[in-house]
Every structure is written in C-alpha cells, then in structure tokens.
Amino acid sequence: QVQLVESGGGVVQPGGSLRLSCAASGFTFSSREMHWLRQAPGKGLEWVAIISSDGTYKNYANSVKGRLTISRDNSKNTVDLQMNSLRPEDSALYYCARDISGSYSVDYWGQGTLVTVSS
C-alpha cells in the first residue's frame, strides 16, 4: 500500500535552516509528481511546493519562494524540502503528498512532521 513517511522536523531559530525528507513506498515513485503542504496549528491547509516526476519542474507558493527548495531522488524514493531563512510564520505541520496525476489534487498524504520556528 502507498506509504509516505516524513522526517526532519524540529525547533529552529528564526533565520535558521531545516531539511525535511519524505520516504515513499508502495507505488512507482518516479512516475508521480509530489507535493509539500503545511498546516499551522489550529489553522487551515496551505500548498507549499510541487516537483515533477523527473525533478525538472518545480513550483512554489509565493510565501516560500526563494527560501524553500523542493528536490527528489528517484533512486531512493525520497522527496526533500530544504528550508532556509525560516520565519515564525513557517511554523506548521508539513505534509508530503502524492499527486493524483493530471487532476491538480493529492490522493495520499503522510502523517506530517512538525516545524517550529521560535527563539
């Protein structure tokens, strides 16, 4: 079955960096676009970034553009999110999710990894 397992979350000071990783299994990873989304505590969902199946296309929410970078390794079935210049408003539960292919929707989500940006 499809599994997505995020890791790498933690507490970081404003201006700091963190790298999140998502390990995928149960499907042909190299054929699917992947996403990162986030949810601040008690708040709604926010789409963060997308990467194409071969890694050549990437796009970001305006709120994170220039600070967060999505990447993937199809040989390891992982998708990462490098987070630099972190701000308190980046504090959230970060979810990795699988694209449903051609429908601008995600059909499987991980359980999330928590990022807290605080001094």
Partner 1 sequence: QSALTQPPSASGSPGQSVTISCTGTSSDVGGYNFVSWYQQHPGKAPKLMIYEVSKRPSGVPDRFSGSKSGNTASLTVSGLQAEDEADYYCSSFAGSPWVFGGGTKLTVL
Determine the distance from the C-alpha atom of residue 1 to the mean position of all C-alpha atoms in its chain, rounded to a whole number: 20
Residue 64 Ramachandran class (φ > 0 left, ψ -120 to 50 alpha, else beta): alpha
Name residue, tokens 């999330």.
112
Contact 115, 12 (CB under 8 A): yes
Contact 16, 88 (CB under 8 A): no
Report in angstroms how near the CB of residue 14 gets to partner 1 at its nearest. Answer: 23
* 111 is a site residue for partner 1 (CB under 8 A): yes
Q: Count residues binding partner 1 (CB under 8 A).
A: 19
* 2 is a site residue for partner 1 (CB under 8 A): no
Residue 88: phi and psi, rounded to 5, are -55, -35
Binding mask 49-88 for partner 1 (x = CB under 8 A): ----------xxxx--------------------------
* 100 is a site residue for partner 1 (CB under 8 A): yes
Site for partner 1 in 16-45 (CB under 8 A): 44-45
Whose Cβ is closer to partner 1: residue 37's or residue 83's? 37
**Helix then strand then coil, % of the chain, to nearest 5:** 5, 50, 45
Report in angstroms how near the CB of residue 36 gets to partner 1 at its nearest. Answer: 12
Report in angstroms how near the CB of residue 11 gets to partner 1 at its nearest. Answer: 20
Report in angstroms how near the CB of residue 16 gets to partner 1 at its nearest. Answer: 25
